[in-house]
Each structure stands twice: as structure tokens, then as C-alpha cells.
A and B are shown apart, each in its own frame.
Chain A
Amino acid sequence: MGASGSGKSTLLNTLGGLAAPSEGKILIDGIDIYRLSAERQADFRREYIGFVFQSHNLMPYLTAQENVMLPLVVTGLTAKQKRSMAAEMLERVGLGHRLLHLPSQLSGGEQERVAIARALVNQPPVLLADEPTGSLDTATSRQIMELLAEFHREGQTIVMVSHNPDNRIWFDRILTLSDGAIVADSAVGDQVANF
């Protein structure tokens, strides 16, 4: 958590292999990701990381199912496997009846669910979510948080950015950022003042 401009997105992108830090390194599974070539970094993201952004996650010209299939396109799976994996994932996020809809035909919450389905379709160890509820109303936000919590219960590691204090109840560990630095970590018993 942290105020706007405190570096939340920057940290998340750095963790996810999208932006190299100017100092230090990121080790994931013992892999120093920024020492990989650009193409290998892309492969790493595909296999290890699922990304969900606040909004405009989806390709407007692809159906929900096609959007979810995107990470699978550049793998060696058969067309049938890709289709059924995407359909299954959409079923899990509660959109089994919306496979062939374009993003413009879906509500904001549904679009976010499609984005989550896409991030998780190839079962990455880590899901990185940058304010996935940032543009949703309270009720819809809640549903999305419930969905993420459900994946978490099944063992999915999730690193999520939020500046909505209401979301605190869902988190196991909270890092608080300010001016690009971690100023509090709930895991070491730091207390976070108010937002």
C-alpha cells in the first residue's frame, strides 16, 4: 500500500520482470531475472508471472475466451487444448456463459475477471495485480477480492497493489511504501498508521 506516486507499480513491475532496477537484483526461484536476455525475460514472465492491471487489460478485438487464450498462443499446446483451458478458466471465474463476448459487451467487473482468468490460465506461481479493483464500485470490488481470495486459498501466491484501506482484511502481509521506499512491513510487526 502507499500513497499515489509512492512506487507501488514500480515495485510490482520490477518484481514481474517488466522494469529492471537500477541497483540490486531480483531472484525468483534462484533465477536472477534481469540477467536473462530480453527474449528469455519474456519467457520467464510467461511461465512464472500472471499480471492483472487496473483497467484496459483486454484486447478489444478478441472475445473473452480469445483474451484468456493469449498466453497460450505462444506455447506448443494444440488449438483444442488452448480453447478448453481458456473455457475452464473462465468457468472458474464465473464467466462460463460469456466465452464469446467482446470486452465491450462485458461489465467492468467481468472484464477484470477475464483479466484474472488470463493471468492464471497457464498456472504461474505468482500473480501480480496492480490495483485490480481500482476502477470498480464497492460491491464489484468485493466480488473480485473474494475471487482472488479463493485462488489464494488454493495456494496461489498473490502480490497485489491497493490504496484502498478496506482491502486490508484480505491481506496476509502488507508492505507500505512511501517515496519509493518500504516504510512498514506487517510481517515484522510494523504498525501502519492511517492512509
Chain B
Amino acid sequence: MRLETIVLQNLTRRLGRTAFLLIGLMIGVTTVVTLLSLSDALSRRAQHELERFGANIVVTPKKDQLELSYGGIQLGPLQLAHKEIDEAQLAGIQQIPNYRNLATIAPKVLGAVALADEQVMLMGVEPRAEFKLKRWWTLQGRQPENPAEVVAGSAVAERYNLRLGQEVELSGRNFTLVGLLNKTGSQDDHLLIAPLPTAQSLLHKEGQISMVELAALCHDCPVEEMAAQLRSVLPDADVNPVQQVVKTRMHALGQFRLLVWGIALTVIAIGALLVFITMMGAISERTREIGIYRAIGYRRSHILRLVLAEAGIVSAFAGVLGYLVGVAATWGILPLLDDGSAHWSWNPVLASGAIGAAVVVGLLATLQPAFRASRLEPSAALKSL
């Protein structure tokens, strides 16, 4: 038998008493674990979604003069000889150090084509990349898959009364309309969309790119740095990080975490108080017992160890149980908060942190009661009954 055995027997043979502290602490741990893992899951999902919400780096050709347009109003003369980016240069993107953080690279070419004697904006894209980037695009029909297929924005379809599957003549060449873009309320409604090579040849812009949109997909991407890396491989282009998206996202998530941590700290403080009060009570209740231990020849340090071991064992159990219940609660609650796309994921830091914090809080809150117990005058302790 060891000191810890004494404690274990005490705890298991007086289960009622142990249960109170155990359950109290466990509720605390459960609350903190649930809150933290919910916030974890939700913020990961939010981040993921925001990252997919669109480009956060835009590459455009270098301009020779300041732009003379604002909010769609053109003030200056239309640029006649609009410079484009050389498609061959895009290969350089693969050389940048953070290439692996680029989830999507969507190059496109823009220009006007003739449709029913009028001019319509045609955008040549790599359909897969483009549709991945523009998650808000919804389509009747499908994406263009071969060179003679196009998709029309809702305004275009309405104006020219286009229907799915119909033949369309663009600048004298025939295309099949395979998709209709639902209304987006943006400039996209005014577009015709075709595969990049088709559009390049139709617009006589072979090997040219008007614009590249890139999405960086990672936590806390060094977007500024990635932009600098892109500038070095694309000397003829302007590279603009869309910082606002990143910054707003970080700010919102930061606020959310702050709130969760605030609640967590409050719960931890209440847990510490609970341990403190329970242990204080246990010690005044067991004063005579302590007197007997002292009479038998237990040192102050032995009493200290007995009391701390008791708190440590209960806290560790509460930590483990609380963590498990917290995980179960997260599983249960997540689908209610969300369409089901947020997922719980095993987080070893949270697991060990929750259990470790329970033990540390339990021990710290017991320090004072334990010292008190160890300093009880043996003869005085024996008198209490």
C-alpha cells in the first residue's frame, strides 16, 4: 500500500462525496471543451468557405496610365491597344515558393465578339478553375467542355432570348449553348463564357491572357509575400492582393475566439472555486482523521501529498470524462448549428490541454486547503469529533 492507494480507497469507497466534485469539475471541462471544439470546427469551416469565396490575388497587365474609370463610369478614352499578359509567363507561377498554397489559378481572356450585329463581352476561361473559384455561380445545363460550346450570363440570355441547347453564331462561328448562368447581380450576367483557347482564337489573342485570379487556400496565408513572389515571376503584370477579404476574415474569427476564451476562463475560475470550497470542506470534516495520521507518524509533507493526490486524481478523471462528454456534445450540437459541413476533428492539443488544465486548476485550488491540513496541530485535530 502506498499513499496514493489510501487516496484511491478513500475516493472509491466514499463515491458519493467524490461524485460531487467529479461531476462539478466535469461539467466545467465539458463546457470548455465543447465551446472550444465548436469554435474550432466553425471557424475552420468559415475559413474554408471564405477562402473559397473567391480570389485573394488578382493579376492584371501593367497599365501605362492611371485608370480613368470609377464604378463602371469610363472617363478617359477607351484604351485602344490594350496590353495583355503573355500566357507563357504564367508557367513561372509554378516556381514561386508558396506555389503549394495556391488552390486555384484561373487565367482568362476578355474581348468583344459579335452576336446578332451587336457587341457582347466574351470571357475565355479554364472552366474547371473558373467554376471552382466562382462558387456562387449556379448553372442550368453544364460547363463548356469542348471548343465549340459556350455558356451565357443571364442578361445576355434574356436580351437575345437564348435557350439551352440552341446554336449561337459568334463573330461568324457556330457554337452550342450548353449552359445558362443564373442571375448573379454582377458583371458576370453580361458575359458569354467559352473555353480559353476558343476565345483566344475568336478574339485574335492567341497566347494572351487578360487577367488571372488566384485563390490562396491556407490558414494565415502570407498573401502579401505571395504577391511579391508573383511579381518577381510576372514582371509585365500588376499583382494585387485582395487584402480586405483576408483581414476581415481574421478579425471576425479573432473576435469569436476571444469570446469563447472569455467564457472558458470564467468556467475555469468557477471550477477552481468549486475545488477550493469542496476541499476546504473535506478537510474540516476530516480534521480528526488528519490528527490520527499525524499521531501515527505521518509528516506534514505526507498529509500534503494525501490531499493533493486526492485533488489530482479527481481532477484528472474529471478532465478525461469532461473531454469525452465535450466531444460527444460537440458531435451532437454541430449539426444543429450548421448545415452539416462543419466537422469535428481530433485535436490532440485540446485533449491534452483540457485534461492538463483540469489537473493544474484542481491542484492549484487545493494548495491552500492542503497546506492548511498539513499545518493542523495534531493534538487539536484529535480533539475534533
Contacts and interface: CB of A to CB of B under 8 A. Distances in A.
Interface of A: 13, 16, 18-19, 38-39, 42-47, 49, 51, 53, 56-57, 59-62, 66, 69-74, 79, 82-83, 102, 118
Main secondary structure of the interface of A (DSSP, over half): helix
Contacts of A70: 6, 293, 296
A18 B295 contact: yes
Interface in B1-38: 1-3, 5-6, 9-10, 13-14
A84 to B, nearest CB: 12
B297 A46 contact: yes
B289 interface: yes
Contacts of B289: 59
Interface stretch (B103-111, B183-191, B298-306, B345-353): B298-306
A18 B294 contact: yes
Contacts of A82: 1
B382 A18 contact: yes
Q: What 10 A-B pairs come out closest when comparing CB atoms?
A: A46-B297, A19-B379, A61-B13, A45-B297, A42-B299, A18-B379, A51-B295, A18-B378, A13-B379, A61-B10
15 contacts: A19-B377, A38-B299, A38-B300, A42-B297, A42-B298, A42-B302, A45-B295, A51-B296, A61-B10, A61-B14, A66-B1, A70-B6, A73-B6, A74-B297, A102-B13
Nearest to B297: A46
Interface in B268-313: 288-289, 292-302
Contacts of A66: 1, 5-6, 9
Nearest to B378: A18
Contact of B296 (A13, A45, A60): A45
Given A16-B295, A56-B288, 15 more contacts: A18-B379, A19-B379, A39-B299, A39-B300, A42-B294, A42-B302, A43-B297, A45-B297, A49-B297, A51-B296, A57-B292, A59-B6, A69-B1, A70-B296, A73-B1
Interface residues of B, number: 27
B385 interface: yes
Contacts of B13: 60-61, 102
B182 to A, nearest CB: 72
Contacts of A74: 3, 297-299, 302
Nearest to B295: A51
Given A46-B297, A62-B6, A74-B297, A53 B14 contact: no
A46 B296 contact: yes
B22 to A, nearest CB: 16
Given A61-B14, A66-B1, A66-B9, A47 B299 contact: no
Nearest to A63: B9
Interface string B349-385: 0000000000000000000000000000111001001
A70 to B, nearest CB: 6
Interface centre among B292, B295, B299 (most CB of A within 10 A): B295
A18 B292 CA distance: 10
A13 to B, nearest CB: 5
Contacts of A19: 377-379
A72 B6 CA distance: 12
Contacts of A47: 297
Contacts of A59: 6, 10, 289, 292
B300 A62 contact: no
Contacts of B294: 18, 42, 45
Nearest to A70: B296
Nearest to A121: B296
Contacts of B14: 60-61
Nearest to B2: A73
Nearest to B374: A38
Contacts of A83: 1
A57 B289 CA distance: 8
B308 to A, nearest CB: 15
A112 B14 CA distance: 22
A69 to B, nearest CB: 5
Contacts of A44: 297
Contacts of B296: 45-46, 51, 70-71, 118
A71 B377 CA distance: 19
Contacts of B2: 73, 79
A62 B378 CA distance: 21
A104 B345 CA distance: 49
Contacts of B382: 13, 18, 53
A51 B301 CA distance: 20
Contact of A73 (B3, B288, B292): B3
A40 to B, nearest CB: 9
Contacts of A57: 292
Nearest to A128: B295
Nearest to A115: B292
A42 B295 CA distance: 7
A13 B295 CA distance: 9
Contacts of B3: 73-74
